[in-house]
Structures are given as C-alpha cells and as structure tokens.
Amino acid sequence: MAYAAWAAPFATAAESADQYPSKPIRLVIPYATGGVSDAIGRMLAKSMGDVLGQPVVAENRGGGGGTIGAAVVAASPPDGYTILLTSPPMVTVAPLLLKNLPYHAINDFTAIGTLVTTPNILVVNNDIPVKTLAELGTYAKGEGRNKLSFASAGPGSTGHLSGQILQNAMGFVMTHVPYKSSGLAFPDVISGRVSMVFDSLPSTIGYVRAGQVRPVVVMSSERSSVLPDVPTAIEAGYPAATMNFWMGIEGPANMPPRIVEKLNAAIRKAVESPELRKHFTSVGAEPFLISSAEFTELRKKDAERYRKLVREMGLERE
C-alpha cells in the first residue's frame, strides 16, 4: 500500500507526459510586436501547432531586454504549456545589466531546443555620410562628434552590446536609445531622429532592400548570402564585434524529459518544413537545430563568454 502511494505521483507524471499536449500551449515572445523575434516566433508557433496537434499561441510580453517575458515563464508550472522564445541577450547579457531579476537566467529554465542563427548588422540613416566603419570613425570624431546615437532592441540586447563594443574599439561615444523592439526603432532611424541601429539581419533586410537605411557591416564571421556586398566586422578590422546570435525555446525549470523531447522534436520538424526553411533563408537566418543537452551546454558557454565581455566593457551593474 505504501509502495503504491509512493509510486502514484510518478505514474501520474508519466501518463501526463504520454498524453502531452492535451490543450493549447502558450509561447511567450519576450519582445513587442514588429521585430524579428515576433515574426519568427509566430511562424514557429503555427508550424509547431500543426506538428503537435494542439494550438501554440504566441503571446508578446515585451520590455526589460526580454526579462519581463522570461519572468512570466520562470514562474509558470513546468508542464510544457508555457514556453519561451529566447536568445543570448536575454539569457546571458540582460541579467548582467539588470539587477534584482526575479529569476536565475540559467537555473530557472529548461533548455528545450534551438531554431536558427542570424547575424547582427549595423545600418545608418541615409543622410549620414558614412558607408564603412572607417568612415563612421572619422565622422564620429569630426563633424558628427557628440551628435550620433544608436538604437537597439533594449538594454542587454545584442544591438546594445554591439554598439558598446564598436564605441570602445573605435574610441568615440554615441548615445544609446533603447526600444522595446527593433520594429519600434526603425521609424526613428529612417526619419533621422536616431542615427543608426544595430539589429539582427532578418528584421533589417526589408528596410535595406527598400533603400530606407544604408548597411555598413555585418557582425558575423562570414558575409551573408542575402547581402553579399556588405563586409563583415572581421574584414572591417573589428573581430571583437562578431557575435553568433541564436534563437531557441526554453521552459520553466524541471520540465519532464519526455515533454522536452516532444517539444524538441516538434521544433525540429517545424523548422525543417519547406515553408519555414525557405522563409528563414530568404531573410538571412540559417536553421540551427540541436538537442536539449547540447542547448544546455551552449547556454552555459555563452553565459561565460558574455559575462567576461560585459565586465571587460565595464557595463555590469554593481
């Protein structure tokens, strides 16, 4: 009798994992509408819903460099019905810049799987007489001294970090203008209220193709196939600005392994579908699919790398 009472909770958990999902799943997108995270998250949600046989409902919870949405997921039951679209800034950088977070960026989440990698890119307002990083340095120290500003998707975003890296490396200062998402930043960059923006290529490519902003450099190890004429930060002489930007899915800590496996398999099948693969490639995002265990290690390694970088730059808050 005692054995049966002890074993019952585990049997229930196993049955629950076998039946999962039996109701809609909430995918929290920790940024406002209009940016690359929103677009990719919503496409993934629809495709995952088709794979799993239950709706995956995208819900935007923007603000705080992704930390507001992350807090919602960290506090949710680890039953697989609330999951989070995540990226390196939210996992590894924002916690260094924003103190007193209600969660631990590593320990309070379960790494489920990754989707894509995308390079960051620097684009400037068309009226600024800058086409290369060298010209940007000359302008920033001359005619544009104390006049330049750069937008990002918020404190701790890769755009914020990229801007700080280049300022430190090139020896000039710009004003950081954070937004809740890159989609909200571009109108101000296009109009000239803000000088430039550092953002991921998928959310930027449309503005570049329309001629609304001018691309200067991509922060990746190789040039992008969708913008082959734009040099890399390495080619421009600033390898420290190279950043591998992945996007993934996480859930609350202590999720049942069988549910994690089902979600990882659903992510893989969704991303490998011809529709999503074609869309991702067209905007400069490359499919990047790894296991939950591999994702766990990647998060830890990136946390160490960015922690060191942020401290070297003097950005970490005491």
Q: Where are the domains of the chain?
A: 20-117+245-312, 120-241
- pLDDT tens digits for range 38-57: 888 999 999 999 999 999 99
DSSP letter at 312 equals H
Beta strands 245-252 and 82-86, pairing class: antiparallel
Query: Is it true that 20-117+245-312 and 120-241 share their CATH fold?
Result: yes
> How do residues 81-98 score in pLDDT, each as one tens digit?
999 999 887 777 777 777
The mean pLDDT value of the chain amounts to 87
Answer yes or no: is pLDDT of 291 > 90.
Answer: yes
Q: How does residue 15 score in pLDDT terms, banded at 50, 70 and 90?
A: very low
The pTM of the full predicted model, rounded to 2 decimals, is 0.78
The yes-or-no verdict on residue 24 having pLDDT over 50 is yes
Q: What is the pLDDT of residue 166?
A: 81
pLDDT tens figures, 167-203 = 877 889 999 999 877 788 999 999 999 999 998 888 8
Quote the pLDDT of residue 221: 81
The Cα–Cα gap between 79 and 24 comes to 12
| CATH number of this structure's domain 20-117+245-312 | 3.40.190.150
> Greater confidence, 282 or 292?
292
Identify the CATH assignment for 120-241 out of 3.40.190.10, 1.10.260.40, 3.30.365.10, 3.40.50.2300.
3.40.190.10
| Integer CA distances (angstroms), 79 to 13, 22, 126, 255, 269, in order | 9, 11, 49, 6, 21
Question: Tokens standing for 189?
Answer: 């960059």
